[in-house]
Structures are given as C-alpha cells and as structure tokens.
Amino acid sequence: MTAQRDAYKISVKWSDLVEVRRDKLGGLVPLDVMVFSRSELEPVDARGKVRRSVPPKVTEVGADRRIQVGVYVRDWRESPIGRAVAATGFQA
C-alpha cells in the first residue's frame, strides 16, 4: 500500500503490518492507524515535486511506520484495504 503525505510518500507491505490501533487526529477526531514494522519513504510532496530528503521529524516521531488509514478511507474494513488486511490473517 502506498500513501501520499504532504512531504513524502510512504509504501508498506501487508506482511509488515503489526498493529491497527484507534487514535485521535488532532486529539479530537477518532481514526484507525495502521502500524508497520518497516516502510519505504520517497521524498515526493503532494504535488509530485521531488524533494531533497524526507523531513527528519518523520522518523523521529515514528510516522515512517504508520498510516492513518481512517484519513484516506473512512470505512476501510469494508473496502479493498480491509480485504487485503484480512487476507494476511491479521485481525483488525
């Protein structure tokens, strides 16, 4: 799965999924976050412009291993994402 953030693109493999947890966006809006053991980052912004590097804060706060799936797909369990997670045997 690949997700585009403001300053980088994150790609993960379903086999590296370790946790799905409930979190809050901005401390207010509940959403699901997928946590992976590893990922690949590309320094590309949301407009497709290649940057020099991924901002260091991304890895410092662990955002290099998390995707806030609830931001991209509200009811992700009923979507192709949910089916891909289920196919791995992971219980979400």
One-character DSSP codes across 34-52 = EEES--EEE-B-TTSPBPS
Residue 58 has pLDDT above 90, yes or no: yes
CB 77 within 8 A of CB 34: no
Q: What confidence tens digit (pLDDT) does each residue in 72-92 have?
A: 888 999 999 999 888 888 776
pTM: 0.86
Tell whether the model's pLDDT for residue 3 goes beyond 90.
Answer: yes
13 three-class SS: coil
66 DSSP 8-state letter:
E
Q: What is the pLDDT of residues 23-42, one digit of tens each?
A: 887 788 888 999 999 999 99
How does 48-74 read in b/e, with b if 16+ C-beta sit within 10 Å?
A: eeeeeebeeebeeeebbbbbebbeeee
Band the pLDDT of 1: cuts 50, 70, 90: very high
